[in-house]
Structure formats: structure tokens, C-alpha cells
A = this chain, B = another copy of it.
Amino acid sequence: MSPPRSNTKDAILDTAESLLQERGFNAFSYQHISEQLGVKNAAIHYHFPNKAGLGVAVIERYNRNFHDWVARHQQRGTKPLAMLRGYFAIPLRFMRDGQKACPLGVLEAEFGAIPDPMRDAVRTLDADIRGFLSEALEQGRQQAVFQFNGTAQDKALLVVSALQGALQISRAAGTKAFMTVIRQIERDLGVEEQRDKISSQSLLVSR
């Protein structure tokens, strides 16, 4: 159902997504992409006639990938705590992969300066991520692996907000800040501190 996918098109999306996370939407250009890709900017305009369309495509692909990830875990019957940690691992990878920010956070920070179609795509992505997390938290509470007050929706919103903020703050304050927030979130969910987390422990000691 999708055979003639051009190789370049995906490469453009990869590069655009990466640049978006590094620089934000308004600070990367067709030139940046074309240079990194070794291709002329006209080629990019062939695949994505205008920048708004490219932006929307990046967000929608990101959301599709997220849905696939969720579906994969649901099929496997991944348990709530592993689900939560698998979710934490996503921004964690961003941070380790060159201090990237979360696309959602970047676009919401630039919300007043992005095209309307992108705003819609952002809203959808936000709703989908929170929907997923709400479910995981609610399941975990029912299985008594998480404890928290208020609705799962409210708690999910807090967790998503904290992760998004922490990832940004880590760009200024360093990796440790992000690990700290993850640890604090787990603490606040009543998840016991793990005994075998050597790296986390050393982080604790170092301040």
C-alpha cells in the first residue's frame, strides 16, 4: 500500500525532525537540510513544496511512530511500570542524542510563530501522548504499582509537562537535571527506589 516511497523523502523528514529538535522550526531552513543531505534545496521543494507542509509531515510521522510504539507494547502486554519507563526512554534518548528537545515542546514554545496547520497537528499529538499516558497510569494504579491522588488524566498532564520542561532545562543545566526529574516523578508515584541503579546512585551522591 506504500511501495514507491522515495528514499530521499524519508531522509528529508529525518533531517528536518533532527533540525527541529536542535534549533526549533523557525531557526532551520531548506538550506540546512540540503547541506546536511548533500542535495539541492530545489529537491526538497519537490518533495515538500512549502515549509508548513514539511512541518506538518514531520509532526504526523512522529505521531505515527509513537502510535506504532504504543501498539507494539500493548500487543506484548507490557506492564505499567515498564510502559512508563519505556516512555521515559524516549526523551532520554533525545537528550543523549545531542541535547535534542522534544518536538512537541519546541513547537509549543514557538506556538505563536508556526503556521496554522502545524498547530492543529501539535494539538493532536499532545492529546494522543496524554491519552496514552493516562491509560498507563490508570492501569498501574489499579494494579497497585502506582499511587497518586486525583484523576489519571490530571496526573498524566503533570508528568508530560514535567518531562517536557525537564528536557528543556537539561539543555541549560545538564543531563543530571533530567535524571533527577524522572527519579522524582517515580518517587511521587510511590515507585520504590531501585537498589541496582548504580548510575542513578552516583548521580545522587554528586549533589
Contacts of A148 in B (CB 8 A): 188
B161/A181 in contact, CB under 8 A: yes
Q: How far is the CB of A132 from the nearest CB of chain B, in Å?
A: 15
Question: Do B99 and A172 have beta carbons less than 8 Å apart?
Answer: no
Do A109 and B105 touch across chains, with their CB atoms under 8 A apart?
A: yes
Residues in B neighbouring A26, C-beta threshold 8 A: 23-24, 26-27
Cβ–Cβ contact B160 & A169, under 8 A: yes
A90 in the interface (beta carbon within 8 A): no
The answer to whether A171 touches B113 (Cβ under 8 A) is: no
A177 within 8 A of B: yes
| A window 123-142: CB within 8 A of B | 123, 126-127
Least Cβ distance of A152 to chain B in Å?
11
Q: Is A50 an interface residue (CB 8 A)?
A: no
Contact of A105 among B149, B162, B165 (CB under 8 A): B165
Contact of A168 among B27, B111, B169 (CB under 8 A): B111
Instruction: Show the binding face of A for B, using Cβ within 8 Å.
Output: 22-24, 26-28, 99, 101, 105-106, 108-113, 119, 122-123, 126-127, 148-150, 153-155, 157-158, 160-166, 168-169, 171-173, 177, 180-181, 183-185, 187-188, 207
